[in-house]
Amino acid sequence: MTKLKTVQTSKDGTQKFLLELNDGNLIETVLMKHPYGNSVCITSQAGCNMGCAFCASGITKKVRDLTAEEMFNQLLIADEAMPHVSHIVIMGTGEPFDNYDEVVRFCDLVSDERKLSAAIRKADTLKNVPFSAVAPRHITVSTCGIVPKIHEFAQTEKRFNLAISLHAPNNELRNRLMPVNKKYPLEELIPAAAEYCKMTKRRITFEYLLLDGINDSEKHACELADLLSSMNTDASGEKLLKGSDYFYVNLIPYNAVSEFGFRGASKEQALLFYDVLMKNGIKATLRKERGADITAACGQLRLQREERFNR
């Protein structure tokens, strides 16, 4: 039985749920209201082993993977709080491609009306929820860059969306921020992303946290533009993609985590970074900051609860 322990509500309407699984592990789920619909951010693991330098999720290491049913229960609890969920992002605690089979099974379940109806009848959280299937184009899976699984994800029958957490324009900086880059450097990651776009004809989102004085300079923006422009051609010079039609950069404000020394870039610096990308032909968006008045960063609410319990 998945139990709701705590709910935090931001002044912008964002809701963050602390949930307890059958074995007592705590996870988080976030519900956001957008002009285009209601979006739920799903957790795929209890804890995380990726060790990204800026992320609260990795402060506590992975205890276990979640099942597709446990991910589904998160969705049902969120939908009860704010009905008519229209978009799903698997970007909560954990690395989804480190739990690949269950994540893909969850995506398949919630995008299939027949399987969904059967799952609702069996759900251990809520009964008789009037929830409709979510189209694959409204389901996004995020990875920090596990290259073999990007290739595998390109082979799925349904065309779900892919987001790649990039956060740095070169290997030296990305190695510092994201240890996964030491195993799958940019020389492997970017071609894998290009191949994914070529095979699926779906657009990739590159997520980029703007960290003050770390990765937010004009030089970093130029490096990033050069890096992503390389997706347009392969090693032989053959054109793979038409311009940047198959990818864009989502620039994200950073929700500070007390355990780390990072700060978010200023609005002025974020706009400068955005402007450099756009002038270099790289499509970009500046994500609106949400949940700033609550423990908005992934893993923070769970971490605070565990710290209080262990005192």
**Per-residue pLDDT tens listing for the chain (311 residues):** 789 999 999 888 899 999 999 999 999 999 998 888 899 999 999 999 999 999 887 677 899 999 999 999 999 998 888 888 999 999 999 999 999 999 999 999 999 988 888 887 777 555 555 578 999 999 999 999 999 999 999 999 999 999 999 999 999 999 999 999 999 999 999 999 999 998 998 999 999 999 999 999 999 999 999 999 988 765 556 666 665 578 999 999 888 776 668 899 999 999 999 999 999 999 999 987 655 555 554 544 554 544 444 43
Three-state secondary-structure class, residue 220: helix
Calpha distance 271→251 (Å, rounded): 10
- The whole-angstrom separation of Cα 240 and Cα 26 is 43
Structure tokens at 7: 């709910």
Report the distance separating Cα 83 and Cα 67, nearest Å: 23
pLDDT score of 50: 96
DSSP conformation letters of 143-180: ES--HHHHHHHTT-SS--EEEEE---SSHHHHHHH-GG
Cα 35 to Cα 107: distance, rounded to the nearest angstrom: 23
Q: Is 181 helix (H, G, I), strand (E, B) or coil?
A: helix
pLDDT of amino acid 35: 87
15-20, long-range: CB within 8 Å, 24+ apart, which pairs? 15/78, 15/81, 15/82, 16/291, 16/294, 16/295, 16/296, 16/301, 17/74, 17/77, 17/78, 17/81, 18/301, 18/302, 18/305, 19/73, 19/74, 19/77
Please tell me the distance from the alpha carbon of residue 206 to that of residue 279, in angstroms, as a whole number. Answer: 17
Question: Degrees (nearest 5) of the Cα angle 116, 119, 122?
Answer: 155
Identify whether 28 is a catalytic site residue.
yes
Let me know: does 175 contact 182? Beta carbons within 8 Å. Answer: yes
> Of residues 28, 70, 102, 207, which has the active-site annotation?
28
Q: Tell me whether strands 37-41 and 26-34 are parallel, antiparallel or unpaired.
A: antiparallel
Cβ-in-10-Å burial (0-12, 13-18, 19+) of 45 comes to: buried
State the catalytic residue, choosing from 48, 55, 107, 298.
298
Provide the pLDDT for residue 230. Answer: 84
Distance of alpha carbon 306 from alpha carbon 311, whole angstroms = 9
Class of domain 3-310: alpha beta
Backbone dihedral region for residue 121 (phi beyond 0: left; psi -120 to 50: alpha; all else: beta): alpha
Distance of CA 42 to the CA centre of its chain: 9
What is the residue extent of each domain of the chain? Answer: 3-310
Active-site residue 306, yes or no? no
pLDDT of residue 69: 95
How far is 80 from 2, CA to CA, in rounded Å?
Answer: 14
Q: Which two tokens stand for residue 126?
A: 């809520």
List, edge to edge, every strand of the sheet that includes 139-143. 3-9, 15-20, 26-34, 37-41, 85-90, 139-143, 161-165, 204-210, 247-253, 284-286
| Pure H helices in the chain | 68-81, 100-110, 113-122, 147-153, 171-177, 186-200, 218-229, 267-279, 300-310
